[in-house]
Amino acid sequence: MHVVLRFRATAVVAAAALLMAGCATGPGLAKTNSPRRTVQAGADASSTDPSVKPSAQPGKPIDPAFAAERLRLVFPCALMEKELLQTLGTPAKYTSSNYTRCSNYMKDKSGKTLNLTVEIGYSLTSTEVKNATKQVAGLKSSEQKLTSSCFVSAVTQENPAQAVRVQVSTGSGDQAVSDPCEPGRKVLEGAVRKLRGNPQKYNPPKGSPVEVDPCTAVDKATLAPVLGASPRMLAFGLHQCSWTGQSAQMQLEFKTARVPKDGKFDPKSTEVDLGGGVKGYQALKDGAFPTCEIILVRTKDSSDAGEIAEFSVGASKNKELDRCQAAQAFVKAVLPGLPSA
């Protein structure tokens, strides 16, 4: 049975959940509390960012179980076992908004709000790496405790720094859980244990980009006309990569999305012919760093749930560059290497 995608649109991005072969019931859809972090130009594995440890081999996970090529196929909802959640309270339905994140908006044993979100391949900041002084399931761990929430991370790779992260949020006032970090540790320990075993995996449909490493899908010859000979690369999570140089940036991301009936992912979207019967949806966004984005639909089901590849080329306002022409060349160079439907 192939992956089925279901959606609920949010104000920021259309979210999707993949139902798994072998699951009696699949996750629904909901917006998580985790904000999307912006990829910053100029950072890469050779930078002086303290989140990068020169002594660690680039791209080498702490354990083979945490290798990126393995994690891309792991179904995150399966990492929060119902039996484990039942020890914390009353689980609700699983909800997912992208390939690597899953939530359960449940109640604890006292009937208080206990929202749990697990994310794999989470890109750690230098501060989070510096604060990884605890231990969870044999891995370095960091905790960030706020009034009614807690973020608990276990480091799975040091260069670039990645982790399995659990976010816990509770009610406020007399509805707050006394220590939101405690359930986070338990869920994180269970998730790491599952990852080291045989976690449930996606059964992607033909044409799905879920297994593709966006950083290796693009070669320097494709980047050079816009960014120069030595662009700096930054991976974000497991499905997004950006390159910067010469006052410009190029980015590729694979993600789930609700596919609009008219193809207008953005109000400014226009359909463009990319050759070979392939069409994309292009939008030029103005501002201090004008950017042209082109979206390609890679899979779509009867309910318009799908997976997309999003290409973007941006540059500072004073840089002479036809951003959309460059974005189209970007797509055409990468497209032959992507899985075909």
pLDDT tens sequence for the chain (341 residues): 333 333 232 222 222 333 333 332 333 223 333 333 434 333 333 333 444 444 568 889 999 999 999 999 999 999 999 999 999 999 999 999 899 999 999 999 999 999 999 999 999 998 889 999 999 999 999 999 988 899 999 999 998 999 999 999 998 776 666 789 999 999 999 999 999 999 999 999 999 999 999 999 999 999 999 999 999 999 999 999 999 998 999 999 999 999 998 888 998 899 999 998 999 999 999 999 999 999 999 999 999 999 999 999 999 999 999 999 999 999 999 999 999 87
Domain endpoint, select from 196, 230, 260 = 196
Domain total of the chain? 2
AA identity, residue 181? C
At 55 the pLDDT is 54
| Collapsed DSSP state (helix, strand, coil) of residue 112 | coil
Asked if 135 and 270 sit in the same domain, the reply is no
207 vs 34: CA distance, rounded Å: 28
Asked if 36 and 107 sit in the same domain, the reply is yes
Q: Which residue's entry shows tokens 């032959």? A: 336
Q: Which residue's entry shows tokens 């996606």? A: 202
Maximum Cα interatomic distance, the chain, rounded to a whole number of Å: 61
pTM: 0.83
Asked if 183 and 328 sit in the same domain, the reply is no
Asked if 250 and 284 sit in the same domain, the reply is yes
DSSP state of 61: B
Asked if 192 and 269 sit in the same domain, the reply is no
Asked if 40 and 118 sit in the same domain, the reply is yes
At 175 the pLDDT is 65
AA identity, residue 175? Q
At 50 the pLDDT is 41
At 75 the pLDDT is 96
Asked if 146 and 248 sit in the same domain, the reply is no
- Does 22 reside within a domain? no
Nearest alpha-carbon partner for 331 in 295, 297, 307, 302: 295
Return the CATH number at 302.
3.40.1000.10
Asked if 190 and 332 sit in the same domain, the reply is no
Give 261-318 as a 3 state SS string. CCCCCCCCCEEEECCCCCEEEEEEECCCCCEEEEEEEEEECCCCEEEEEEEEEEECCC
At 333 the pLDDT is 97
At 201 the pLDDT is 96
- Does 20 reside within a domain? no
163 vs 153: CA distance, rounded Å: 6
Asked if 227 and 150 sit in the same domain, the reply is no
At 13 the pLDDT is 27
324 vs 329: CA distance, rounded Å: 9
At 341 the pLDDT is 75
Packed helices 323-334 and 220-227: angle between N→C axes, nearest 10 degrees? 170
**Quick one: tokens of 106?**
């449940």
Identify the domain containing residue 229 by its residue range.
220-337
Asked if 238 and 138 sit in the same domain, the reply is no
Instruction: Please give the helix or strand (H or E) that residue 183 lies within, else none.
Output: helix 181-196
- Does 39 reside within a domain? yes
Asked if 181 and 61 sit in the same domain, the reply is yes
